[in-house]
Amino acid sequence: MESKPRFLSVLDSITGILFVIATYMVFFYAPVEAVMGKVQKVFYFHVAAAWVGMLGFMVAAIVGGIYLFKNDRKWDIVGLAAVEISLVFFFIAIVAGSIWARPIWNTWWTWDPRLTTASIVELIYAAYLMLRQGIEDPDRRARFGAVYALLGFLSVPMTFISIRLLRTIHPTVVGGGDPGAEGSFSMTTPMKQTFFFSLFTFSVLFADLLWHRVRMGKLAAKIEHLRLRAL
């Protein structure tokens, strides 16, 4: 049994500390936004989680490609870990988005392109997990997962564009992560700093969780191996 590598423990601590600092910055350092008030602070975590979730999808797709090329099972473990974590991060992003939307536009949900695409991506993640669950042979499971992750990732830009084109009659979504022309705001310097810091924190959190999950995956594979040996 390998024990937890020292660097991972260090990373855990770093992640914890970063998170504390980020929370502090969000609540105390960043100024309260003029129009939207305190609820705007959700934005920092909302965007960070979404961005990292998307990063996870890209990781899953790339790693899937590598697996198809090299056939080394460890890439499959990373891909599965990336999808699972991204699933959660995206969910957090969507929920945070809802919390933000409610007081501003008096609705829990808006069918704007970004949010809609996010839900579709979430469904792709779920489909990925369901696909894996139904396949018994581990090699085939890994191969199918890789193909679907790649296929899914490649479909997202087109999905986003088509929803965007669909909604051009509604208030447009403009960059910077704000979901509505009425809800837009420009960022002052401390806000920018908070924003980038939370982005950084979430990225580190993702890497930390990914490492843990990959370790778990490797241990699970080892157990499976030992169990079949004993038969």
Partner 1 sequence: MITVNKLVKRFGPKMVLRGLDFQVEAGEFVALLGPNGAGKTTFLRILASLSRPLMGDVQIAGYWLPSQAAAVRRRIGVVSHLPLLYGDLTAEENLRFFGRMYAVPDLHTRVLEVLDLVGLSSRRRDLVRTFSRGMQQRLAIGRAVLHDPEVMLFDEPHTGLDQDACEMLDTVLQQVAARGRTVVMTSHDLARTADLASRFDVLSRGKIVDSVQRADIDTNQILKFYSDAVKMKEVV
Partner 2 sequence: MKTRSFMTSMRDFLRALWAIVWKDLSAEWRSRELFTAMLVFSLLVIVIFNFALELDVRARSAVTSGVLWVTFAFAGTLGLNRSMATEKDRGCLDGLLLAPVDRSAIYFGKAIANLVFMFVVEAVVLPVYSVLYNTNLFKPGLILVIFLGSVGYVAVGTLLSTMAVHSRTRDILLPILLFPLAIPVLIAAVKASSGFLAGLEIAEVMTWLNLLIVYDLIFMAIAFMFFDFVVEE
Residues engaged in binding partner 2 (CB under 8 A): 68, 120-121, 123-124, 126-127, 130-131, 134-135, 140, 143-144, 146-148, 150-152, 154-155, 158-159, 161-163, 165-166
Length of the chain: 231
Interaction between residue 133 and partner 1 (CB under 8 A): no
Q: At its nearest, how many Å lie between partner 1 and the CB of residue 137?
A: 7
Q: Mask of contacts with partner 1, 78-117, x by CB under 8 A?
A: ----------------------------------------
Interaction between residue 192 and partner 1 (CB under 8 A): no
d(CA 152, CA 166): 20
Q: At its nearest, how many Å lie between partner 2 and the CB of residue 62?
A: 15
Cβ nearer to partner 2, comparing 13 with 155: 155
Interaction between residue 221 and partner 1 (CB under 8 A): yes
Tokens representing 130 are 């369901």
Task: Choose the stretch contacting partner 1; rule: CB under 8 A; options: 8-16, 95-103, 135-143, 145-153.
Answer: 135-143
Binding partner 1 (rule: CB under 8 A), the pick from 6, 130, 169, 229 is: 229
Cβ nearer to partner 2, comparing 1 with 130: 130
Q: Which of 216, 211, 213, 194 is nearest to 26 (CA)?
A: 194
Q: Which residues contact 108 (CB under 8 A, 6 or more apart)?
A: 98, 101, 102
Task: Choose the stretch contacting partner 1; rule: CB under 8 A; options: 46-54, 124-132, 169-177, 218-226.
Answer: 218-226
CA distances from 86 to 39, 51, 125, 209, 212 (A): 24, 10, 8, 10, 14
Residue 34's binding partner out of partner 1, partner 2, none, with CB under 5 to 8 Å set by partner kind: none
Residue 188's binding partner out of partner 2, partner 1, none, with CB under 5 to 8 Å set by partner kind: none
Cβ nearer to partner 2, comparing 34 with 165: 165
Per CB under 8 A, residues contacting partner 1 are 137-139, 221, 224-225, 228-229
